[in-house]
Structure 1
Amino acid sequence: MSRPLPLPRVSRRRFFAAVLLVTLLVAGGLSYLASAHPDGLEHVAATTGFGDTARDSAAAGSPFADYGTQGVDDPWLSGAVAGVVGVAVVLLLAGGLALAVRRRDPEQD
C-alpha cells in the first residue's frame, strides 16, 4: 500500500492572502450573477398583500443601501463595490475583535 504524498507547507500569510483574494472575487465578481428578483421576505409580502405597507429602514439613505453603491450608475459595478466594501468592513471588525480578545502571555507584559 502506498503512502500519501505529504502536502506542501503553506505559510499563514499566503493562506490568508489566498482566502482574501477568493473572498474579494466572490464578493466583487460574482455579484454579477445575483438575482434581480426580490428576496424571500419581499416575495411573501407581495403575494400575501402586505408588501405595500413596508417602510424604508433607517439605513435606506446610506451609501450602500439595497446592495448597491450610491453614485455608481453601472448596476454590476455598484454591487461589486458594495460587496468588496462589505468584506473589508467585516474583516476589519473581525480582526479588531480577534486582537481585542486574544490571549496574551503575562510574561511579555
Structure 2
Amino acid sequence: MKRWAMVLLLALVIAAFLSPFASPHPDGLERVAEDLGFLKKGESPVLRFSPMPDYTVATINDERVSTALAGVTGTLITLAFAWGWTKLISK
C-alpha cells in the first residue's frame, strides 16, 4: 500500500475512533468567550446553518456515531482542500 494511503487510513481511523472521546469541555477560545460573557455575541447565522455544528451530524441521534462521522467528514474535507490547493499552486 502506498505511503499516502496508509497516512489517510490512519487519519480516518483516528477521526472515527478517537474523536468521540474528545473532551466535552470548551476549547480555549470558547472558554474565554464564556468567561468574559460574549459567547452568545459570536453566534452568527453562519453557525446556525452549519452542516456540522459542535462537531456533530444533526441527522444522527447517537452522539458518538455523530461525532465520529463529523470527524471523518472533516478529515476528508481537509484532505480534499489540501490536495486541491497543492495542485493549484504547483502549476
Q: State the TM bucket, normalised to the shorter chain.
A: 0.7 to 0.9
Which of structures 1 and 2 has the bigger CA Rg?
1
* Alignment match, 1:38: 26
Which structure shows the higher helix fraction?
2
d(CA) in 2 for partners of 1:64 and 1:52?
19
Q: Give 2:43's match in structure 1, choosing from 49, 52, 56.
A: 56
* Alignment match, 2:87: 99
d(CA) in 2 for partners of 1:18 and 1:37?
31
| Contact kept? 2:58, 2:66, Cα under 8 Å | yes
Could you tell me the percent identity over the aligned residues?
37
d(CA) in 1 for partners of 2:25 and 2:89?
40
Query: Which amino acid counterpart does residue 54 of structure 1 have in structure 2?
Result: K
1:39-84: CA deviations, max 9, x gaps? 2223233334x14643423132222111111111111111111111
Give the gaps of 5 or more residues in structure 2: none
| Contact kept? 1:42, 1:51, Cα under 8 Å | no
Number of positions where the alignment pairs a residue of Structure 1 with one of Structure 2: 90
- Structure with higher RCO (Cα < 8 A, 6+ apart): 2
| Contact kept? 2:30, 2:39, Cα under 8 Å | no
Aligned Cα RMSD in Å? 1.9
* Alignment match, 2:77: 89
Give the gaps of 5 or more residues in structure 1: 1-12, 104-109
* Alignment match, 2:62: 74
- After TM superposition, the runs of 4+ consecutive aligned structure 1 residues lying more than 4 A away are none
Distance 1:52 1:23, change over 3 A: closer
